[in-house]
Structure 1
Amino acid sequence: MKRFPQTVFAMAVMLLFALACTEEQDFDQINDLQVTPTLASGLFYLESDEATINSAGSLNTFYYQETNFNAFNETYVADNLLEGTITYEIDNSTSKQLRVIIGFIDDSGNILDVETFDIEAGPTDTVVREVFYGPGGKRLQILTNTSSLRVSATNLSDANSVSPAENPKIILRSGAEFLFQLQ
């Protein structure tokens, strides 16, 4: 008879454990999941020394290049782009006033957007410009329709002066961050 109360007690404890540890599972949580990854990438890099700039002459283009930019040629990627930021950094240690123009070109050769940088003769502090695309910035269609980037750099100064800096050059770096909605 002593075992009967112990058995009832043990069964009651097991029943309480079973009820306390179970909860109805919600397997539909995946429908509420929102994934927004950010992709960061370098875009282009321009570097030119002062001798190259001088050899192009005054008021002449010393750098010109058009490169493919097919980051958004997949419809799924273009349709799920939420926003983007392109960051430009410019260092000029030359004695030249320069102009750098970056054109965003579509498949038909149309210019969608232009970023122009008028750069003072150096040495100068690093110039940083961030350009936003999406809410509060430029239209996202500029990025999603761009198929190439055109970069040109022009000497707006004379062709003789030389900077007192050691190894004078112009450096333009650019990078981008894009935010996507995956669901």
Structure 2
Amino acid sequence: MKRSFYLLLCFAVVLMLSQSCTEQQDFGQFEDLSITPTLATGLFYMESDEATINDAGTFGTFYAQTVNFDAFNEEFVADHLIEGTITYEIVNTTSKQLRITIEYLDEAGNTLDGELFNIDADPSGLMTWEVAYGPGGKSLDILANTSNLRLTATNLSDAISVSSQPEPKVKFKSAAEFLFRLK
């Protein structure tokens, strides 16, 4: 009899503990969840010495490259892009005035957008430009439809002058930061 009383008492205690330590789960919180990660990446890096620029001649193109850029090719990624910023940095220690052009191209090779940079001869110092896409900036459709990026650099000066700087070069780099809403 004592044994059945203790067994009944243990069962009652376990039943009360299991009910007192739990609360109703609210799985509706997932609907209120907002996930917005930021993705940062490098886009371009171009470096050229003054001898290469001189070899291109006056008003000659010393650098031209088209690279594939299918970052937004996936519909999920393109549909969830909120905004983006592309930052360009240029340092010119050559004796040359230069023009650097970036074109955003669609799959057919049509230009969707472009950036044109006219760079003074040495000493130009570090020049930085930021271009916003999304609210308050350029259209996100430009990024979503970009398939290739084309970079062209042109010498706007003579083909004989030489900078007094040690190892004169032009350096161009760009980076991008994109904000997505995953839910």
Residue 12 of structure 1 is matched in structure 2 by: none
1:46–1:173 CA contact under 8 A, matched in 2: yes
Structure 1 residue 72 corresponds to structure 2 residue 75: no
Instruction: Specify every segment of 5 or more residues in structure 2 that has no aligned partner in the other structure, as ranges.
Output: 1-15
1:100-158 CA-partner distances (Å, limit 9, x unpaired):
00000000111000100000001221000000000000000000000000000000001
1:6-26 CA-partner distances (Å, limit 9, x unpaired):
xxxxxxxxx8xx86x664432
What's the % identity of the aligned pairs? Answer: 62
Could you say what secondary structure the match of 1:53 adopts?
helix
Q: What's the TM-score once normalised by structure 1's chain length?
A: 0.88
Instruction: Specify every segment of 5 or more residues in structure 1 that has no aligned partner in the other structure, as ranges.
Output: 1-14
1:60-107 CA-partner distances (Å, limit 9, x unpaired):
111000000010111111111111110000000000000000000000
Could you say what secondary structure the match of 1:28 adopts?
helix
Could you say what secondary structure the match of 2:122 adopts?
coil
1:22-47 CA-partner distances (Å, limit 9, x unpaired):
64432211111000111100001000
Q: What's the TM-score once normalised by structure 2's chain length?
A: 0.88
1:1-183 matches, within 5 Å, as: 23-183=23-183
Aligned AA for 2:139? R
Matches of 2:157 and 2:148 in 1, distance apart? 29
The alignment covers a number of residue pairs equal to 171
The two structures, once aligned, show a CA RMSD in angstroms of 1.9
Structure 1 stretches of 4+ moved >6 Å: none
Matches of 1:110 and 1:56 in 2, distance apart? 26
Matches of 2:100 and 2:75 in 1, distance apart? 31
